[in-house]
Amino acid sequence: MTPASRLLLGVLLVVAVTIRAGFALQVPAEDPFYPDGADYSRVATGLANGQGFYPPEMRPHVVYRAPFYPVFLAGIYRVAGNENFVVVRLAQCLLAGMTGWLLFWIGHRLGGALAGLVALGIFTVHPFFIYQCATVSPETLFIFLAVLGYSLLFKLFFEGHLRDAALAGIAFGLAAVTKGTVLPVLPAACLTLVFALRWALPKRLTAAVVLSAVTLLVISPLSIYTYARWHEFSLILDGSGLNFYIANSDDSVRLFQSQDAKEFRAVQKQLWMETLPGFEREIGNLAPASRDAWYFRRGWERFEAHPGLSLWMMWERFKIFWGPWVHPKAYGMKEVLVSGLASVPLFIFGLWALFRRLRQGQPDAVFGAMVMVLITLIAGMLFNTEIRWRIPLIDTLLILNTAVGVAPYLVRWPVIRHAVPASSDALPG
């Protein structure tokens, strides 16, 4: 890297953290700024005060708040005081800065310093990633862990050291106990290792086994805890049964048939304030895994009774999930325009660069494609998903593909060519 590119790297990292901190500090200090933030904070407060996970008096749905983010919050609370959201937000801004550096590192590895700087630059100003730093929610921590896992996988692809498979397993395991939606990455990564790389077959299989085994090993304490407390096995308590029911419920049909945002929000309010609390009274004190299974059965019964309607809703969810803007009925026009301006270019340039790299036989592009397809099919079509499920896992890959794709064109500008080397500066693979 040239002195100019090092200076630009430092400036972008400072700007990334500063923008996020400036936005986060505008939020009232006592406001979680996220609907589920109070639940996460309550679990964290219990941990910080030595009460353990999920006190008996806690509402049943709170057990679906995956534990690693409350552990992160509890560590901050022990140092800065309970529910000190200001310190939480500042810590998340620093974590986002580390995520930006990882995206730079991956981009540098794939396409040179310029590609890394472009990836970091996009991440620096992307409104979704800025917004999440202000929320008391697991998104910023989850994004960091997911991108850390990606960086270790790319390192594994290039260098072939099994220790990187183990380290990637740790990152993805921690991400899974932060948000379970990362789990489809595991089979995608293993398929890439086995079928897309040119290593000897025993090494490919060993790497896939190590990655899977370490990921599951990191997840296992949560599974053991669940079984010890409720005598039921569950890999991760993630509320997937509840989501499946919502995705196939009458309320979901009414959501998609809403005429405007006002009607959409009224249906949402009825779902969360009337329908689901009524079911909770009917369920009673079922253990979490049985509770999830109960919702799965209700959702499946609804699916079998009206398969055509359920398939139509899958298609509607697919369009929302894979569309580069937020749902206009769920959000205002300003949010739709901002999300479109931020994501449409990533879709155009990211997918264009992705297909170019696929044609060239690049393993990183194959991996990215598999992740996108798997997550789209599983989360985007089966569950009552939102765009925020997609962005941490897919949009970070789109950022990287965009950066690698446009860097060779940007370097044609003399001022850029003299300041930052192009793809020839990529680290050897």
DSSP 361-394: T-HHHHHHHHHHHHHHHHHHHHS---HHHHIIII
pLDDT in tens, 104-132: 999 999 889 999 999 999 999 999 999 99
> What tokens were used for 294?
């109960």
Q: Looking at residue 424, what DSSP letter applies?
A: G
> What tokens were used for 192?
């890439």
> What tokens were used for 104?
């730079």
Over pLDDT 70: what percentage of the chain?
93
pLDDT in tens, 225-268: 889 888 888 888 777 888 888 888 888 899 888 888 889 889 98
Residue 427: the pLDDT is: 47
End-to-end Cα separation, the chain, in angstroms: 17
Q: How confident is the model at residue 372 (pLDDT cuts 50, 70, 90)?
A: confident
336: alpha, beta or left, given left = phi > 0 and alpha = psi -120 to 50? alpha
pLDDT greater at residue 242 or residue 297: 297
> Helices in 196-332 by DSSP H: which ranges?
201-230, 240-247, 250-256, 261-270, 276-283, 288-305, 307-322
Single pTM value for the model: 0.93
Q: Tell me how crowded residue 249 is: count the other CB atoms within 10 A of its CB.
A: 21
**Residue matched to tokens 């079928």:** 195
DSSP 116-157: HHHHHHHHHH-HHHHHHTTSSSTHHHHHHHHHHHHHHHHHHH
pLDDT in tens, 195-217: 888 899 999 999 999 999 999 99
Residue 386: the pLDDT is: 67
**CA 130, CA 219: separation in Å to the nearest integer?**
29
Mean pLDDT of the chain: 88
> What tokens were used for 331?
């959000």
pLDDT in tens, 68-83: 999 999 999 999 999 9
Residue 61 has pLDDT above 60, yes or no: no
pLDDT greater at residue 276 or residue 22: 22
Residue 297 has pLDDT above 90, yes or no: yes
pLDDT in tens, 18-27: 999 999 999 9
Residue 407 has pLDDT above 60, yes or no: yes
Residue 60: the pLDDT is: 54
Q: How confident is the model at residue 429 (pLDDT cuts 50, 70, 90)?
A: very low
The residues spanned by each domain of the chain are 3-422
Residue 59: the pLDDT is: 60
pLDDT in tens, 378-401: 766 667 666 777 888 889 999 999
Q: Looking at residue 428, what DSSP letter applies?
A: P
> What tokens were used for 293?
């299974």
